[in-house]
Amino acid sequence: MYTLPELEPNFDLRHRARSILQDNWWPCISITLIYLIVQFVLNRIPIIGSPISFIISGPLNLGFAIFYLNFIRSEDPDYNDFFAGFQDFGRALAAIILLAVFILAWAVLLVIPGIIAAYRYSMTFYILSDNPDISAIDALRLSSDMMEGAKLKLFQLHLSFIGWALLTALTAGVGQVLLIPYVMTSQAYFYENLKAAYEADVYPVLE
């Protein structure tokens, strides 16, 4: 029987994120702007815009994972990391399709199961980033194992950004350029903490 490890408090994850972002806001804001602009433009193209947006969301999400993991590990943000997801287009596309299918399948039952499924598979792109030889479906399975018992903690981390989300709403979405880097950096630290616990073979994988 595994014992739940004492994962790093969310307050500390956010503090670490603010500390590393202090001198690195601009690179993180820049890639956020690129992401938002690309999605904005594509979603306004009739008929083909939305499908294209969905297709490239896989590589873009993988690029986000690569960028932020390398950022917190080296403390040196590299713009090229954000576009690295397109070099692994096949796995990234497979992952986003599988995520959409699995989450939608649970959401068809009720909203809450869909949300739980989203958190269950939330580490997928980080796992793909760290494991170039793993398949998309295996990345989802590993995410499910790693997140067993940790879904609520990640939800609470996201909930702690409610003030920033309100600020974003009050600024007609402009605040996203600050909120997204803050959330992504904090979440990257969450993954690092979770991964270390899981690899130490003390993280519970409940049957």
Give the model confidence (pLDDT) of 172-200 as tens digits. Answer: 778 899 999 999 999 999 999 999 988 87
Q: What is the DSSP letter of 84?
A: G
Query: How far is 150 from 120, CA to CA, in rounded Å?
Result: 9
Q: Determine phi and psi for 16, rounding to 5 degrees.
A: -65, -40
Residues 6+ apart with CB under 8 A from 79: 27, 30, 31
Residues 6+ apart with CB under 8 A from 154: 119, 122, 147, 187, 190
Q: What is the DSSP letter of 3?
A: -
Place of tokens 């793993």: 134
Question: What 3-state DSSP class applies to 37?
Answer: helix
Residue pair 121/97 in contact by the 8 Å Cβ criterion: no
pLDDT at 203 over 50: no
pTM: 0.91
**How buried is residue 109: exposed, middle or buried, by Cβ count under 10 Å (0-12/13-18/19+)?**
exposed
How much of the chain, in percent, has pLDDT values that exceed 70?
94
Query: How far is 96 from 107, CA to CA, in rounded Å?
Result: 16
Q: What is the DSSP letter of 7?
A: P
Angle formed at CA 137 by CA 133 and CA 138, multiple of 5 degrees = 55
Q: What is the pLDDT of residue 50?
A: 92
pLDDT at 205 over 50: no
Confidence of residue 81 (pLDDT cuts 50, 70, 90): very high
Q: Determine phi and psi for 174, rounding to 5 degrees.
A: -60, -35
pLDDT at 204 over 60: no
Q: What is the pLDDT of residue 80?
A: 92
Q: How many residues does the chain have?
A: 207
**CA proximity to 126, closest of 56, 48, 52, 67:** 67
